[in-house]
Amino acid sequence: MSLVIENLSFAYGDVQALQDVSVEAAPGRLTTIIGPNASGKSTLLRCIIGRLKPTRGRVLLDGQASHQLKPRHLAQRVAYVAQRSVVSAAFSIREVVELGRYALPPDHHKVMEAIERLDLSDIATRPYAALSVGQQQRVMLARAVAQLDDEGILLLDEPTSAMDLKHQFDTMKLIQELVSEKVTVLMVLHDLSLAASQGQDAWLLNRGKLVASGIVDDVLDTNRLNDVFEVPFEWLVSKSGDRRLAAMTQQGPMG
Amino acid sequence: MKFGALVLGATGFAILSLLIDRSPDGVISLAWPDASFARFRFTALAVGIIVGAALAISGVLLQALLRNPLASPYILGVSNGAGLGVMFAMYLSYSMSGGELGIAGQTGPSIIGGLATLAIVYALGQRRGWLDPVSLVLIGVVVSTICGAGILFFQHMVPTGLRGQFTTWIMGHLPQGTPLSMLVVCGSITFIALIISMIMGKAMDAATLGDDEARSVGLAIGPLRVMLFGIAGLLAALTVALAGPIGFVGLISPHGARLILGPRHTMLVPGAALFGIMLVVGSYVGSRLIDVGAGQMPIGIFTALIGGPAFIWLLLSGRGQA
């Protein structure tokens, strides 16, 4: 499945959120979308699902403009998890995951498999509203996994921001598994260290403009990051030779 | 089983409403009514069934689409908007011909008033071209208050002798003289709305996700909102034409049915309709049992007495949080 963004611009009234963004997602790879606050990352995802109509340019999914696609057709190709998900009814975890199949043929096996992959089997009958935010993030990811078919596109907006370390680790492992199953993943992340360690490609946004895109190591150039984030960055190398990107403070590396 | 309990409850109140008899000296007994009374009691019961079901379905649709458990036709101003339409028509009828406006004559103004109010609230409740559920409810409350003032204005404009008739209508009642043709039309519309709402149950389930995620799972939320808002507005306006503005039924019935049947809308819609019937017909039974002041109590007083505390409970228990 191809995802091509051509000269995309979008404005919320007078506020320009995206300006002339052109980039293409590499199929079957994990691309992280990074940038400071209000750089247009979430807006970009909302344009991809066709929720926001571009003021200029377009997003093409297999050659079709996303905002002109019927939601039913979009759901067959793209699954999306928002930064803050809401469910306004007292559904159980399983019922929320089943919503991923709303426009698709019912598939009990796929729903149960998604619940299992996100380590939710033991609590599948519990009410969604009673969960912690981190657990709710896992439920929403399970919903998206239940929706995804082979070679689909998965859009994730800060999917692990409220998870504990174990589940953050497990979720990243699952996302890597999905990529190995030929799913194209676009993931907004604030944690540059995580983006550096998990992403294959990266798109760097700043004030609505695409500053750089390509292989993650090339995009995460420390001089470029210093300019964009206005914070000094350094690649730290451990004794075992592992590299880690870190923002530097007077007290040493952050995080 | 649980659904059966609701059917049983609604049927029980319906039978009770037919059998309760109050003699002129205040003695209450249970007896099948004489043929001369039976027709009136059946008419009032039919109005109660239609009004209860229609208000409850309207409440389910509004709560689902606004993702706000406190939404109802009353809170969004539809009931008062329809009421203002009726009151204006009643005032015109009185000033131009000195005559009363029949129930059938109330239907048009009620639907126009209700749908116009919903359209205004819908238009003003948008932000950046998207419907904002919180703004919608706030705008609804303000528009409802303005329409309420309009109702009082027309009530003030008529001679004192006519105010009693206006006041009774405002408090909500089940008229025993509604024409059969109107019952058939309103009953058919309510039944069709029930079926459409049940068919759209899965879509309403998906609509409980945020707008972005609802679209991503394949739901066209915009057209669904317009269609179901139209149905909700039409149903609420019909009830105002039939029985005056009756509060809280559209708010409480969906919650009552949810507690019994769970949140899935395909079952929730008919369950809430049964709950609404129980509430309205039950209030009618209550009004037949209590005879104070100027005779039979308007049922709007009963629904408010039940619904008001239930509304506060919803807020305090957290079930009323959006």
The DSSP string of B190-255 is HHHHHHHHHHTHHHHHHHTB-HHHHHHTT--HHHHHHHHHHHHHHHHHHHHHHH----SHHHHHHH
Q: Quick one: pLDDT band at residue A234, thresholds 50, 70, 90?
A: confident
Q: In whole angstroms, give the CA distance from residue B189 to residue B196.
A: 11
* A159 in contact with B, Cβ within 8 Å: no
Most confident of A158-167, A172-181, A233-242, B297-306: A172-181
Q: In chain A, which residues have their Cβ closer than 8 Å to the Cβ of B322?
A: 88
The answer to whether the CB atoms of A49 and B212 lie below 8 A apart is yes
Residues A13-22 have a mean pLDDT of: 94
Where exactly are the structural domains of chain A? Answer: 3-220, 221-255
The answer to whether the CB atoms of B213 and A100 lie below 8 A apart is no
Q: Quick one: pLDDT band at residue B288, thresholds 50, 70, 90?
A: confident
pLDDT on residue B194: 98
* A53 in contact with B, Cβ within 8 Å: no
- Residue A80, beta-bridge partner list: A155
The answer to whether the CB atoms of B67 and A88 lie below 8 A apart is yes
The answer to whether the CB atoms of A50 and B219 lie below 8 A apart is no
Structure tokens at A105: 């043929």
pLDDT on residue B318: 59
Find the residue in A nearest to B215 (Cα).
Answer: A71
Residue A26 has pLDDT above 80, yes or no: yes
Q: Please state which of the ranges A41-45, A229-233, B34-38 shows the lowest mean pLDDT.
A: B34-38
Q: Give the B window 60-89 contacts with A, CB below 8 Å.
A: 64, 67-69
Q: Quick one: pLDDT band at residue B203, thresholds 50, 70, 90?
A: very high
Q: Quick one: pLDDT band at residue B297, thresholds 50, 70, 90?
A: confident
Q: A96 to chain B, minimum CA–CA distance in Å?
A: 9
The answer to whether the CB atoms of B212 and A100 lie below 8 A apart is no
Mutation to test the B interface, candidates A86, A97, A157, most B Cβ within 10 Å: A86
Q: Quick one: pLDDT band at residue B322, thresholds 50, 70, 90?
A: very low
The per-residue pLDDT for range A80-92, each reduced to its tens digit, is 999 888 898 999 9
* B127 in contact with A, Cβ within 8 Å: no
Q: In whole angstroms, give the CA distance from residue B107 to residue B112.
A: 9
Q: In chain B, which residues have their Cβ closer than 8 Å to the Cβ of A78?
A: 216
Mutation to test the A interface, candidates B131, B204, B217, B224, most A Cβ within 10 Å: B217
* B176 in contact with A, Cβ within 8 Å: no
Mutation to test the A interface, candidates B213, B221, B260, most A Cβ within 10 Å: B213
Q: What angle do CA A19, A25, A30 make, to 5 degrees?
A: 120
pLDDT on residue A244: 79
Q: In whole angstroms, give the CA distance from residue B222 to residue B271.
A: 26
The per-residue pLDDT for range B51-81, each reduced to its tens digit, is 999 999 999 999 998 888 888 898 889 989 9
Q: A92 to chain B, minimum CA–CA distance in Å?
A: 9
The answer to whether the CB atoms of A91 and B205 lie below 8 A apart is yes
Count CA atoms closer than 13 A to B220's CA, side-chain side.
12
* A219 in contact with B, Cβ within 8 Å: no
The per-residue pLDDT for range B246-280, each reduced to its tens digit, is 888 999 999 999 989 999 999 999 999 999 999 99
The per-residue pLDDT for range A159-172, each reduced to its tens digit, is 988 888 888 888 99
Using the structure block, give the residue that is written with the tokens 């109660």: B48
Q: Mean pLDDT over all residues of chain B?
A: 87
* B322 in contact with A, Cβ within 8 Å: yes
Q: Mean pLDDT over all residues of chain A?
A: 91
**Residue A121 burial (CB count, 10 A):** 12
pLDDT on residue B287: 83
pLDDT on residue B132: 74
The per-residue pLDDT for range B7-37, each reduced to its tens digit, is 999 999 999 999 988 777 777 888 888 887 8
The answer to whether the CB atoms of A70 and B220 lie below 8 A apart is yes
**ipTM confidence:** 0.89
* B212 in contact with A, Cβ within 8 Å: yes
pLDDT on residue A102: 96
Taking one residue from A and the other from B, the number of pairs with CB-CB distance under 8 angstroms is 86
Cβ B259 vs Cβ B243: under 8 Å: no
**Residue B256 burial (CB count, 10 A):** 19
CA–CA distance from A185 to each of A78, A149, A198, B10, B86 (Å)?
A: 10, 13, 11, 52, 57
Tell me the percentage of chain A whose pLDDT exceeds 70.
98
Please identify, in words, the CATH class of the domain defined by B2-317: mainly alpha
Find the residue in B nearest to A12 (Cα).
Answer: B128
The answer to whether the CB atoms of A99 and B64 lie below 8 A apart is no
Q: B271 to chain A, minimum CA–CA distance in Å?
A: 16
The answer to whether the CB atoms of A71 and B206 lie below 8 A apart is no
Q: In whole angstroms, give the CA distance from residue A228 to residue B18.
A: 76
Q: At what angle do helices B35-66 and B265-289 cross, to 10 degrees?
A: 140
Q: Quick one: pLDDT band at residue B312, thresholds 50, 70, 90?
A: confident
pLDDT on residue B293: 58
pLDDT on residue B129: 66
Size of chain A in residues: 255
Q: Please state which of the ranges A30-39, A216-225, B2-11, B99-108 shows the lowest mean pLDDT.
A: B99-108
Residue A69 has pLDDT above 80, yes or no: yes
Query: What is the longest distance spanned by two Cα atoms in chain A?
Result: 56
Q: A95 to chain B, minimum CA–CA distance in Å?
A: 9
Where exactly are the structural domains of chain B? Answer: 2-317
Find the residue in A nearest to B210 (Cα).
Answer: A86
pLDDT on residue B294: 53
The answer to whether the CB atoms of A140 and B69 lie below 8 A apart is no
Cβ A57 vs Cβ A9: under 8 Å: yes
What residue type is assigned to position A180 of the chain? Answer: S
pLDDT on residue B177: 85
The answer to whether the CB atoms of B208 and A72 lie below 8 A apart is no
Q: In chain A, which residues have their Cβ closer than 8 Å to the Cβ of B203?
A: 102
Tell me the percentage of chain B whose pLDDT exceeds 70.
93
Q: Give the B window 256-295 contacts with A, CB below 8 Å.
A: 258, 262-264
Q: Please state which of the ranges A224-228, B39-43, B91-95, B283-287 shows the lowest mean pLDDT.
A: B91-95
CA–CA distance from B267 to each of A48, A103, A169, B45 (Å)?
A: 35, 20, 40, 24
CATH architecture for the domain at A3-220: 3-Layer(aba) Sandwich (3.40)
